[in-house]
Amino acid sequence: MASEGKKPARRGRIRPWAVALWLLVWQGASMAIDQQILLVSPVRVVVRLLEMALTAELWTSIGFSLLRIGAGFLLAAALGAGLAALSARFSRVEELFAPAMLAIQSVPVASFIILALIWFSSRSLSVLISFLMVLPVLYANTLGGIRAADAQLLEMAQVFRLPAARRVRYVYLPQVLPYFRSACQAALGLCWKAGIAAEVIGMPDGSIGERLQQAKVYLNTPDLFAWTLVIVLVSLAFQRVFLWLLDRGARALERM
């Protein structure tokens, strides 16, 4: 029998032993193939990443992509939440945006990127693509959270004639925030994948996507893997920081 007070293990948590096992599999496959141009070893990737970390090229590329992809995500989060609130209040607004949201979800990312290159500069392409990929996710989840609000609490707020601002603060926000947070968590990974794909196709000067494309063209496999690792690390860091700020803001609201 499990001892009382013992916390259950978190499902889906990444364990160090699992990471180490997959790195050993990668290393073994690289040694078996013995062709660095086909499959570089993880040791060589880490060494190359450390070499890149000493250059300004890495940090300027991270700053370029982080600024634009982050801006696209934040714009989509703000607009998605705002449109969800309007759609919950006015059915005509939901009917108006339903075809647009369906189209954004249905059209492949590559099609959006190619079409956007006709109208926009490649330097701002990742902002637009990140925005478009995140908007439907944030909109649908936030709208679902608003509609899942406790009907009894809403009725009580109406009986006591709470002002709209207090109704939002005490009734809607505590119930919608979990939906909004889970949507952000899901959308952040999608945002970075779409944003980097836009940079790879558009190749704006100084972006991570341009570095990836150059590594592919010159068959520079260590650089290709190293830049891919950079994308993963920056994406995870951005996700952790944003969710931490969101959770801290939610706790501050609870204490008010």
The residues, any chain, with a CB within 8 Å of residue 173's CB and separated by 6 or more, are 253
Q: How far is CA 55 from CA 59, 67, 133, 245, in A?
A: 8, 19, 32, 30
Alpha carbon distance 6, 256 (integer Å): 32
Q: Cα angle at 232 between 36 and 138, to 5 degrees?
A: 145
Q: For the chain, which residues make up each domain, given as ranges?
A: 42-255
Q: 42-255: what CATH class?
A: mainly alpha
* Each residue's pLDDT tens digit, 49-103: 999 999 999 999 999 999 999 999 999 999 999 999 899 888 899 999 999 999 9
pTM: 0.84
Q: Within 10 A of 194 (CB to CB), how many other CB atoms are there?
A: 25
pLDDT band at 3 (very low <50, low <70, confident <90, very high): very low
For 46, the token pair is 């880490």
Alpha carbon distance 121, 173 (integer Å): 38
The residue type found at 151 is A
* Each residue's pLDDT tens digit, 134-169: 999 999 998 988 887 656 665 665 655 665 556 666
The residues, any chain, with a CB within 8 Å of residue 139's CB and separated by 6 or more, are 80, 81, 83, 84, 87, 97, 101
Residue 27: predicted pLDDT: 85
Residue 72 near residue 129 (C-beta atoms within 8 A): yes
- Phi then psi for residue 54, to 5 deg, are -90, 0
**Torsion sign over Cα 146, 185, 244, 73:** negative
Alpha carbon distance 15, 196 (integer Å): 27
Q: Cα angle at 77 between 243 and 251, to 5 degrees?
A: 40
Alpha carbon distance 95, 80 (integer Å): 15
